[in-house]
Amino acid sequence: MVLDADSVNCEAEEAVEPDTQACSRGSFTVMAASIDSLLEEISGVEDPIEELQGLKTALLSIPVSALRDSVGGRRLGVIFSLLNSDHREQVQLCVDILERILMALSPEHLVQNYRVELQAGLNHPNENVKILALTQIGRMVEHPDAVTEILHNPDIVRSLIHCIEEENIAVAKQAIHSLSKLSHSKTGLDKLFHSDLLRVVKEVMATSDVVRYRIYELVVEISSVSPISLGYCANSSLISQLLCELTGDDVLIRATAIEMVTSLAHSQHGRQYLAKQGIMDKISNMIRGADTDPLSSLYLPGLVKFFGNLAIADSPQQVCETYPVFQNKVFEMALDPDPAMIGVALDTLGLLGTTVEGKQVLQKTGELFPGFYFMVMTDAIEDFSILYILYI
């Protein structure tokens, strides 16, 4: 079906004194009728590519703000059904159409009318369909009423968990985001950690190293919300499993674990938990033992960054005095021939130097490393901001 421009726009000869709003309303009413006609045509043809293209064009001609009134009451079952095809162009056109329409509808409307279809989308083999479903479910979990409906449907939550093991990182990231949002309430925490869904999480976690660290990412995000959230995660044994990875045999996994633990330390309750678990002392000992580990360059930067962030979050003086191996290692790294080590050292010094207390600590400690000062003064270190950090 080809849309007649005269059926969409008000006739020019009738617009001697145009009423813009009335014209727009009339245009959208006609367009809504055209959408109805297109949906009917689509349901009655075997190869609907042309009709889908016409519907997509029609939808793009209507502002999203007006689209809600135009399509809100229309059933989209025919479009969802056409997603079940091996025809990639057809599937993509349906995704484009649904993306346009669903974004115009409220999260409440979606959960009441399209929950089943969107759940099916989570299990669709096409990644674009998955992302469409995840995007809309992501809107639902941020709505106070819609999220309740999601939590009452454990199958949706289960499908979200399984999306974390998808190869496409965009799919996994969106699933992690939605699950994290679901856990912002006690009901959500109970659903994820006090039901058989925790078993599903652990099963998915066992898929691969990559997926395991995606689960850790989710756990850290949830833990950072509040001490209560952290308690749920700790009781699930997932955090203790992450902390054990710090001293694992695989140095690459160890480096990734350090990044996760650093993220957990961004919150005050996270730092308190890590301190109670003796993690600060453990990381300090790891820095100390790095001198005898030929592979330490793979994880040492992460250890230093951990304490650098810890010092800024708490107190540079307290952290440097409690863990002197940290500050000594930073200055040693600044004199290292490895450019990567120098870069991490300068970044850490720059972070510490953002506070007056940090500057004082750096000046006092730096006196023990005259070689570092010599390199600064002779431009051996091509970063003049260090002068500012230490002396201004």
- Cα–Cα dist 20/323, whole Å: 70
Q: Which two tokens stand for residue 248?
A: 């694992």
Q: What is the pLDDT along the chain (392 residues), one digit of tens a residue?
A: 444 444 444 443 444 444 544 445 545 455 556 777 788 888 878 899 999 999 999 888 888 877 777 665 567 889 999 999 999 999 999 999 999 999 989 999 999 999 999 999 999 999 999 999 999 999 999 999 999 999 999 999 999 999 999 999 999 999 999 999 999 999 999 999 999 999 999 999 999 999 999 999 999 999 999 999 999 999 999 999 999 999 888 899 999 999 999 999 999 999 999 999 999 999 999 999 998 999 999 999 999 999 999 999 999 999 989 999 998 898 888 888 888 898 898 888 888 888 888 888 877 765 655 555 545 444 444 454 554 445 44
pTM attached to this predicted model: 0.84
Burial (Cβ within 10 Å: 0-12, 13-18, ≥19) of residue 3: middle
Report the C-alpha dihedral over residues 22, 25, 29, 30, rounded to 10 degrees: 60
> What pLDDT score does 72 carry?
58
CATH number for the domain formed by residue range(s) 105-207 = 1.25.10.10
- Cα–Cα dist 355/203, whole Å: 45
Q: Give the distance from CA 321 to its chain's centroid.
A: 36
DSSP 122-164: HT-SSHHHHHHHHHHHHHHHTSTTHHHHHHT-HHHHHHHHHHT
> What pLDDT score does 80 carry?
95
Residue 247 CA neighbour count, 13 Å, CB half:
12
> What pLDDT score does 373 carry?
53
Which of 31, 77, 76 lies closest to 54 in space, CA to CA? 31
Q: Determine how many CB atoms are found less than 10 A away from the CB of residue 128.
A: 20
Residue pair 147/190 in contact by the 8 Å Cβ criterion: no
Which of 245, 241, 219, 217 lies closest to 232 in space, CA to CA? 219
Domain edges within the chain: 1-10+20-62+76-87, 105-207, 310-392
